Amino acid sequence: MNSVLEAIFCGKPMVTIPLFVDQALNAKNMKRRGLAVVVEKDELDKDTLIAAIRQTLPANSSYALKAAKVAKYLRGRPDAARAEIVRWVKLVAEEGRMDHLVLASRDMSFIQYFCLDIIAYLLAQFLVTLFLIYRVLKFVYLRCRISIVKRKTE
């Protein structure tokens, strides 16, 4: 997703070739918004890649114009972010404390916050299991050894 955001921020249209995981969804979203041409990996060859690049390359293509428009909007967001901060500060000043926005983790103990009780329990289970496996293997080994010694003495 970072390369998609970088391309959008720079105002560049994209040729996307989704290969795995979320890339297909990202490519579909960019195509739907008019920011990218999608080339499926099954259809990928020299001619389709050149056609996709030629479709997005001209500065006056619909992809380039849309990418420039979205980049302009994205770059203008810091002003919107400042306005959002001002809005929240005013809201808090008017309403006072807003305890419903405070995270519950603020009141958790160190052990609860980092799940140390659960980690200790799982570690204890692991060690007990390891100990039991060791004891069983030791028992089997000693039984086999005793039977071998008995055969030699007979």
Q: Are residues 71 and 113 in the same domain?
A: no
Residue 63 and residue 13 in one domain: yes
Higher pLDDT: 123 or 86? It is 123
- Quick check: is 83 in a domain? no
> Would you state the pLDDT for residue 154?
60
How many other CB atoms are found less than 10 A from the CB of residue 28?
14
Q: What is the CATH number of the domain that holds 25?
A: 3.40.50.2000
**Residue that the structure tokens 């003495």 belong to:** 153
Domain presence at residue 88 = no
Q: Give the range of the structural domain holding residue 129, as residue numbers without chain letter.
A: 107-153
Q: Kindly state whether residue 138 falls inside one of the protein's structural domains.
A: yes
* Number of separate domains in the chain: 2
pLDDT at residue number 29: 92
What average pLDDT does the segment 146-154 reach?
68
**Residue 85 domain-assigned?**
no
Pair 9, 63 in one domain: yes
Residues 6+ apart with CB under 8 A from 19: 41
Say what the pLDDT of residue 112 is.
Answer: 92
Judge if 71 and 117 occupy the same domain: no
Q: Is 102 within a domain?
A: no
**Which position has the token pair 């960019």?**
30
Residues 1 and 24: beta-carbon distance below 8 Å:
no
Give the model's pLDDT for residue 118. 96
| Residues 6 and 68 both lie in one domain | yes
Q: Which of 128, 105, 100 is nearest to 115 (CA)?
A: 105
Predicted pLDDT at 110 = 94
Q: Let me know if residue 101 belongs to a domain.
A: no
CA angle 10, 12, 14 (to 5 degrees): 130
The pLDDT assigned to 59 comes to 83
Residue 31: exposure state from Cβ atoms within 10 A (0-12, 13-18, ≥19): middle
Model confidence over 18-69: pLDDT tens digits? Answer: 998 889 999 999 999 999 999 999 999 999 999 999 999 888 889 999 999 9
